Every structure is written in C-alpha cells, then in structure tokens.
Amino acid sequence: MTIQVIQEKAIDAIVIMSTAINNLRLYPPTNAMINQTIDRLLQALVAILDEHAPLIIAESERILIVAGEPAGTKYQERPQIRSIIELLTNLGIRSVSFEGGLVKEDLTAFLQALSLKPEDIKMEGGLQELLYRKDILHIRIDEKIYIAKDKDQQIVASIDVKDDDIVKFLMEMDPESADLEQIKEKTKDPEWISTIFQTGMKHLKEKQGSEPNIQLSDNLVQMVRMLEKITDPADLERIVHLVSRSVTEMDSDMISLFLSHDVRGIFGGRLFEEVIGNLDDDRFAAVADGLTDMLTAAGERGRMAGTSFDTLMNTDKGRILQSERQERAAREKEEQDKRLVFLNERVQGFLQGDENAFLDQHLITELPAISRELQILGEGRTADTLLEPLLVRLHSRNPDVRSRTAEILSQILNNHLADGRVDRAAYLTEQLTGWLRSETVFSMAYEKICLQLKELARTVLETNPFVEVNPILDILSLIQSGRSLKEPAMAVLAADALRELATAERLETLFQELHTNQQGKQKEAAHTLGRLGIAPVERLLDMLRDSDDSDERVRILQVISEIGVPSIPVITARIIMSEPWYVLRNLVYILGRVGGEAQAIDLAPLLLHENQKVQSEAMKSLQRIGGKVRAETLLSVLPKADATFKMSIVEMLGTIKAVGAVPALVALLCSKSSASMKSDLDEKICMALANIGSEEALPALKEIASSKGFFTVSSYKEKVKLAADKAIAAITRRKQ
C-alpha cells in the first residue's frame, strides 16, 4: 500500500473519528448511532493496519502528518481535519499511534477520553494517564515525535533547530539505530550538551503530575542513553556528574523507576554508582522500598528492579539499613505483644458478659478504637468476638441500650470502611440494616446510622446503578413506604435519604434502561426505581399514560406499587385531572394496592364512571383497600348506579358481610319496580342477605318467600322466592 493510499484511507478514518467524538459529547456511548460510528471507524483502521502498522497520525506546527508525511493540501483545510488538529494541539499531543490488534474496547475508551473537555482531561492527569489507567494496549500517545525535515528527509541539525526539538528527538530515537552525525556536530560544544540535558530535565519536571511517572522515567533513560552515544569521551566525567546530580534531585519514586531500567551499564556503570553514592540515608531507604514495590512487576522491569535492589543492599548503606530494620522489627514485635496482652486483659470482662464491664462507660467508649487496634495487630478474631455481645445488646428491650450500642457499631463500621476491610464492613452493614428495620424508637443514633447507610448505598449506586440486591435501599424504601410501623420522623428521614439518592442523572440512567433494556438490566432498573421513593413517580405515570406496550405498563404498575404510600398524592392528583379511561383504570388499579381507607373517597366517583372497565377496577380496588368505609362508599353510589352495576354492588356488600347495608338492601328488595332486570337484582339481594346473616332481614325474606304479607309487595318470580328461602335457612342456621 503506497503512502498516498494510506493517507487517503487515514483521512477517511479521521473524518469518522471527528464525527464519533462530536457525537459522544451529545449522546451516551451506548447509543446505537455511536456504536455504528465506532464500528465504522474500527473497520477503517483495521483495514489500514492489516497493510501498514502502526498507523501514526501526528501534528507539527498545525499540519497533519500521516505515516510520517504531511497530508496533502486538499485535506488540510477540511473541517474535520482542522477539528482533530485543534484537539491535538489543545491537549498538547504530538502524535497518536494505532497498532495492530486494535479492538473496539480500546477504540471506544480512547474516543470517550477525547470527547471530554480539555480541562477535565488535565484534571485526570492528561490523556496518556487516562489511557494508561484503562489499560489500552494498541493506542499510544506521543510514541513518535516529528520535528522539522528538509527536502531530503534528514533531521536538520543546523543552528535553526530548537533545542526543545532536539530533546524530543533524543527521548524518542533508538540509540542503536539512530544516525546522529548531524547532532554530533553540536557536541563539539560541551556546554551545548549540558544545556540539552537540562532542557530535557525541565521538560520532564513540567510533565510530572500530567503524565505517568513510569512514562517519564522511560523518557529519561532514553535521553541518558542518547547522551552517552553523542558525548565526547573527554567530557564523560563532567556529564556523568551532571546526570547523577540531576537524577538524585528527583523524588524517590522517580529514582526508583530510573533504577528499575537496565541502567547499570550506562557510562560504564559509573552513573549507577554515583546515583547510589549521592543518596543520603533516608533517600536511600525510600529508593530501596520503591524498588521492592516493583519486584512483582512483569517482565524486564521486575527483573531489573530486583537486580538493582540486590546491588543496593550489598553496599555498606544497604547492610546498615537491613540491620536497623531488623532491630526495629524486633522492638515493634515486642511492643505489639505487650500491647496485645493489655488489650486482651482490658476486654476480658466484656467478652465474658460481666455486667460491670457493660457499665464501664470509658471501656464502652473505647471499644471502636480497641477493635480497630486488634485488627491492625493481627488479632482480627478477637476483634470479631467483641461484636457478639454488642449485637445481642442491639436488640435489648431498653431503647437507650439499643441506641448506645448502635452508635458503637456505627463507629466500628466506619473504621472497617476506612481500613478497607470490605467483608467485615459488609457484615456490620447487614446487622445495622436489620436494626433499622426492627427499631421503633427514633434517636440520634438511628439518624446517624440511616445517613451512614445512605452514603454506602450512594457508593454502590455510583459503581453499579443496576445492582440486583441492595438491602439498604430495600430498608429505606420499606420505612418510607408506610408498610412498617415507624415513628413519623423515621419515615421522613428515610424519604429524605432516598430523595438525595434519586439524582437526576441516576434517574435518567435507570429510566433509559427500563425503557430500552439496552444493557439487559431492565429488571434491576425497575427494582431500583421502585426503591427510590417519590422521585420517580411523576415520570413513571407519564410513561404509563403514553406507553402502548402492555409488558412495559405491567412493569411500571409494579414499580409504583413497590414505592407504596408516598405515591398516593401524585396518583390521586392524576385522577382529579380526568385522564382517559384506560389511564384511569391503571391509576385506580395502583390506588387499590398502595392506598388505604382514606382513598375510598377518591374511588367513589369512579364507581359511577361511564366506562365499565373503570367501574369494575374501582370496585376491585375498593375491595382490596378494606375497612368499614367500603360499605359506606358502596351504599353512597348504589341509588345512582345502573341495574347491571347495582347487582355488582349488592354482591360486593354480601361478600364483605356489610351488616349496616341490610336496611338499604331490604328497602331495595321490597321496592316496586317493573324494570326488566328487577328479578335478577332481587335474587342477588337475597343472596347478599344470606351472606350477611342478619336477622333483621328475616321478616322481608319470609314475606317474599310466601308472596304475601304486610309489605304489600307484588308477587315475586319463583327464582327470587327460592333465593329468599335459602337466605332464611342460612340466617336461621347461624342463629342456632
């Protein structure tokens, strides 16, 4: 593939890249359009890399360079090309290398990083640091640095080349293959070499904090090797002193990284010896520790770190350091043993259940610190044993004891979290979550633990908003929902905690997944939304109104039902707004699941709604709500209901055994009417009276059964008489 063809294909890829970056600033990376664009870009880059790897895109003096050559003039002014050049310039990036084996995950992470604001990238430590943290293997930043070239494609080493460009060249070029003749022309001036090295050190110091130290150490070693290559033997001594002094002026981490390279042979080994010799005792120890930390690194770096460490320890300083540390370790071990004896004696009474120990307020106050110290000293089993009597007292009948115990456990939990003891923190979190569920007395400890657990829930949601099981959210939701017996202050506290957790960004993420199931986490999103309190309800009701997907509507109804009592005001407000019948039916359905007797008044008008499905759902919800208000509500609408729905009301009154409804039912039974469905209604009334079982109905039923009597009613049909007979028998049996 010729350079021209490579450039043409690369320009097409850069145009797609520019589009992808712009889209990522507008849409989430899971968006289908984003995915398609990244797939196109990956396909374009892989096609090039199959023929020409690596593909290097660079910028020099705002000119785009592809595969080592400036792109044609016709490409330079294209908006997408200018946009990429501007982006690279703003980020201080000179080149981007795409290597064979490029995968979509690498490319997506790279594009997401570029889509960030420049100031955000700098706050993260620079683009190189971002890519380094994401372990991107096939995209490299500033692997190749391009400086000005003349018409013969040779590096210009004349006086016109800036020292900064020479420094970058020295840091990048392979000392074994570099043609340095032109640069060597300048080495006739010893001061120039010193200037170049000092300029290089200045560059490295400026980049500390914005680029990984490991990358800076690589650059430093490369530059030193190049200096060795170009330094005149007569100046060797002076350059070694200059370099060793500059290296030992760096922080200990950088010195350790420098020594973890294969540098023992540079300048005949003299540089390594001088660097070690220049370190004072404290710096020497810090560098040795840094090398120890790198011993487990993979490949050559770990091996060289081990070799350098052995060399350090075989010096006089190293032997003294080892001896001092062994003595210090022995003293510390002796002190630890004494301290453990003291701590064990201090808590013996407590562990044995001695009531005096529980009354020792000073000891009780010390328990969190004692537990932590035992963990640090390696006595985790004893520290865990301390929890057992505390957990027993957490469920004491005395609310003050429960509160004080919870406070201590809260402090121990904080210590576990701060010290990274995840398993122990999880266990204590479970215990305190259970206490929140069972505790019925509000206290300062209750408030503190509720807030503490809220922060833990926030951490979990930030890590994974689709977590399948979140006991803390479950408990907070239960408390605020009204489904558990709690003081009002507890419900308010839980509701406030959920409101803080239900951020706009988090809700958007959950609703997106609930609607699309794009990540296969629809069930988990619904579960979390159902436990975030009142915040999601308005949007859930909007989705319920607008959705034409029956499965989605069922999911939404379930979510709102799980939210519970707090959703009632929003639901009743929607009912007042007189939504379409199919929306009202769903609202009534939810009200029947989350409402109580107070909601009967909201259901009453809907029992007379013109749509039978709404009527039927209102009847079911009223039945589900329960309570004495059911009969009163049904009787209030009975005179206004049509014949068909009257029968449903009568049947419901019988089902709930509404004794107070007997006079009204008897009056309706004995009323004169020529309606076509009168006998059907009368039969239903007799059946309802039988279910209710009140003797108050017997006179009317007996009169109907014989079709004569003082009620002066007309003759009833046979099926009504039969129903009246059965009702009389049922009531009589109960009387006996």
CB-based contact 272:221 (threshold 8 Å)? no
Q: Residue 329 above 60 pLDDT?
A: yes
Output the six-digit token pair for 465: 């908003």
Give the model's confidence band at 538: pLDDT under 50 very low, under 70 low, under 90 confident, else very high. very high
Percent of the chain with pLDDT over 70: 90
Give me the pLDDT at residue 298, please.
Answer: 63
CB-based contact 38:111 (threshold 8 Å)? yes
Mean pLDDT across the stretch 416-442? 89
Altogether, the residues listed in the chain come to a count of 736
Higher pLDDT, 230 or 508: 508
Mean pLDDT across the stretch 191-202? 73
User: Among 5-14, 149-158, 387-396, 540-549, whose mean pLDDT is lowest?
Assistant: 149-158
What does the mean pLDDT of the chain come to? 82
> Which of 259-268, 441-450, 706-715 shows the highest mean pLDDT?
441-450
- Distance set, CA 661 to CA 230, 633, 641, 655, 703 (Å): 109, 11, 16, 12, 19
Give me the pLDDT at residue 498, please.
Answer: 93
Give me the pLDDT at residue 392, please.
Answer: 87
Give me the pLDDT at residue 554, please.
Answer: 92
Output the six-digit token pair for 14: 């850069």
Find residue 56's DSSP bridge partners: 97
CA atoms of 572 and 605, how far apart (whole Å): 12
What is the torsional sign of CA 169, 170, 172, 176? positive
Give me the pLDDT at residue 105, please.
Answer: 87
Mean pLDDT across the stretch 155-171? 48
Neighbours of 616 (CB within 10 A): 16
- Report the candidate in 156, 269, 155, 132 with the shortest Cα–Cα distance to residue 210: 132
Q: Residue 90 above 90 pLDDT?
A: no
Output the six-digit token pair for 110: 């790279």
Mean pLDDT across the stretch 719-724? 90
Question: What is the residue whose two structure tokens read 């070690």?
Answer: 276
3-class SS of residue 676: coil
CB-based contact 530:478 (threshold 8 Å)? no
- Angle of helix 444-463 relative to helix 422-438, nearest 10 degrees, comes to 130
Q: What digits encode the pLDDT tens for the residues 494-505?
A: 999 999 999 999
Long-range Cβ contacts of 395-403 (<8 Å, 24+ apart): 395/435, 395/438, 399/441, 399/443, 402/435, 402/439, 402/441, 403/441, 403/443, 403/444, 403/445, 403/446
Q: Residue 171 above 70 pLDDT?
A: no
Q: What digits encode the pLDDT tens for the residues 616-642?
A: 999 999 988 888 888 999 999 999 998
Give me the pLDDT at residue 166, please.
Answer: 58
Give me the pLDDT at residue 522, please.
Answer: 92
Give me the pLDDT at residue 144, please.
Answer: 53
Residue 663: asked if its preceding bond is cis (omega within 30°), the reply is no
Higher pLDDT, 204 or 587: 587
> Which of 164-173, 349-358, 598-607 shows the highest mean pLDDT?
598-607
Q: What digits encode the pLDDT tens for the residues 3-32?
A: 788 888 888 899 888 888 888 877 777 777
User: Among 159-168, 183-192, 214-223, 692-701, whose mean pLDDT is lowest?
Assistant: 159-168
Q: Residue 178 above 70 pLDDT?
A: no
Higher pLDDT, 136 or 167: 136
What is the torsional sign of CA 161, 162, 163, 164? negative
Give me the pLDDT at residue 508, please.
Answer: 93
Greatest Cα pair distance, the chain, in angstroms, is 139
Q: Residue 147 above 60 pLDDT?
A: no
CB-based contact 568:591 (threshold 8 Å)? yes
> Which of 309-313, 451-455, 713-717 shows the highest mean pLDDT?
451-455
> Which of 156-160, 292-296, 353-357 shows the highest mean pLDDT?
292-296
3-class SS of residue 530: coil
At a CB cut-off of 8 Å and minimum separation 6, what does 209 contact? 125
Mean pLDDT across the stretch 158-179? 50
CA atoms of 146 and 405, how far apart (whole Å): 67
Mean pLDDT across the stretch 419-445? 89
CB-based contact 256:285 (threshold 8 Å)? no
Percent of the chain with pLDDT over 90: 20
Give me the pLDDT at residue 155, please.
Answer: 34
Give the model's confidence band at 556: pLDDT under 50 very low, under 70 low, under 90 confident, else very high. very high
**Degrees to nearest 5, angle at CA 350 with 345 and 352:** 90
Give the model's confidence band at 169: pLDDT under 50 very low, under 70 low, under 90 confident, else very high. low
Mean pLDDT across the stretch 76-101? 83
CA atoms of 552 and 594, how far apart (whole Å): 20
Give the model's confidence band at 711: pLDDT under 50 very low, under 70 low, under 90 confident, else very high. very low
Residue 154: alpha-carbon gap to chain centroid:
53
Q: Residue 285 above 80 pLDDT?
A: yes
- Report the candidate in 569, 578, 571, 575 with the shortest Cα–Cα distance to residue 557: 571
Give me the pLDDT at residue 501, please.
Answer: 92
Give the model's confidence band at 181: pLDDT under 50 very low, under 70 low, under 90 confident, else very high. low
Give me the pLDDT at residue 222, please.
Answer: 80
Give me the pLDDT at residue 98, please.
Answer: 87
The pTM score is 0.52
CA atoms of 85 and 90, how far apart (whole Å): 9
CA atoms of 594 and 624, how far apart (whole Å): 10
Element (H, E) at 69: strand 69-70
- Report the candidate in 204, 286, 278, 298 with the shortest Cα–Cα distance to residue 252: 286
Give me the pLDDT at residue 191, please.
Answer: 65
- Please state whether 267 falls in left (phi above 0), alpha (psi between -120 and 50) or beta: left
Residue 402: alpha-carbon gap to chain centroid:
32
What is the torsional sign of CA 315, 317, 318, 322? positive
Question: What is the residue whose two structure tokens read 């009246």?
Answer: 724
Mean pLDDT across the stretch 348-353? 74
CA atoms of 353 and 187, how far apart (whole Å): 82
CB-based contact 534:500 (threshold 8 Å)? no
Output the six-digit token pair for 456: 């833990």
Q: What digits encode the pLDDT tens for the residues 110-129?
A: 888 888 887 778 777 777 77
- Report the candidate in 22, 3, 16 with the shortest Cα–Cα distance to residue 42: 16
Output the six-digit token pair for 312: 């350090």
CA atoms of 193 and 183, how far apart (whole Å): 10
User: Phi and psi for 296 in degrees, rounded to 5?
Assistant: -90, 0
CA atoms of 537 and 535, how far apart (whole Å): 6
Give me the pLDDT at residue 153, please.
Answer: 37
Q: Residue 151 above 60 pLDDT?
A: no
Q: What digits encode the pLDDT tens for the residues 377-390?
A: 888 888 888 888 88
